[in-house]
Structure 1
Amino acid sequence: MQITSSVVAFIALATARMAAATVNPVALSPANIAVAGLININDFQGFGLNVVNNTVVEAGEGTAVFVFPSRFSNSVNQEWAFIPQGSGFRIANGMNLSLSLSYPAAAYGGNPYGAELVVSSKFPATFALQPIGSSGVTVRIVEVTSQFALTSWKAVAGMLGAPAILAEVNASLQPQQTWTLAAAPIV
């Protein structure tokens, strides 16, 4: 009898855990934007936004951010936390929450147009999420001050990843400026 109740309790726990893992961590609507837990940010190619580093050596101030194939999605380099900042979010890396998305010119208030993304603890950028479509998980990620969008470029043959930059919001760049948010895998 005790074994049966233990098995039933274990099955209930496992079922609850599986159900919790499938809950969408992102709530996007024009009136409400909420992002919970660590998130993978994937571009139009299915590549994930990734701090260019390995998980053995911690990324530092000014480390570049590229997009890399999703096979790296179980890496903390591709896990991000959305930390509310006024009307937007600071997007911090799961490997080191003090390092957030930024751009090199942020240190002196310069123009971010065309700037490759980096991580910074001293000059984090604030981003707004603009829902795209009705899926509830696709967004345009826009830097609040400049209104430039996070933009991914198509991977070139022979290269493992592709750059992620800030560029003007542009209908012709819609695919490259559309990002899918997904719960980071539990490892």
Structure 2
Amino acid sequence: MIYIELFYTFFVIGLFGFGGGYGMLSLIQTETVVSHHWMSSAEFTNVVAISQMTPGPVGINSATYCGYTAVHNMGYNDTMAVLGSATATIALVLPSLILMILISKMFLKYMNTRAVKSVFGVLRPTVVGLLGAATLLLCNAENFSLPSVDPWQFGVSLFLFAATFVGTMWLKINPIHMICASALAGLILLY
């Protein structure tokens, strides 16, 4: 049954999804697009875009939309798809809730020990790797087009990517301003 698969899949993602929502994106894409074929790569790209635009953590938002899309794509009605959203969201959050309750007191007691510092010393580069993987997975034809398909959209996409990167990284422009400016540029240049 789809709900049991959704629950198990997103529970495992929640259990091993270090680095927050962006770190989970590569895990979510692998499970929903590659392993289970619940949605296409283009649908996943739309899920990520919607998840970033709506308030809340991107990982939880992605789970919510993926749960809905997975059940909807299986041919169920909208009410059943909403249940898929709830299933995926609860499953993703549940491991963190359980772990935080169990380790909150122990962490405060042992956070300055050598073992805990060693574990976090290894987890930090792992999180950066997960974030890099999520970034690279989103560098696809659905987001940038292809020079052979639409050279203008490909060029505009690369320009906006580079401008946003430089603007946020070195010029320290507020990311919200960059999103609004990019949306306006896309409207003007690609409409």
Which bin holds the TM-score, normalised by the shorter protein? Answer: under 0.3
After TM superposition, the score normalised by the length of structure 1 is 0.22
Larger relative helix fraction: 2
After TM superposition, the score normalised by the length of structure 2 is 0.22
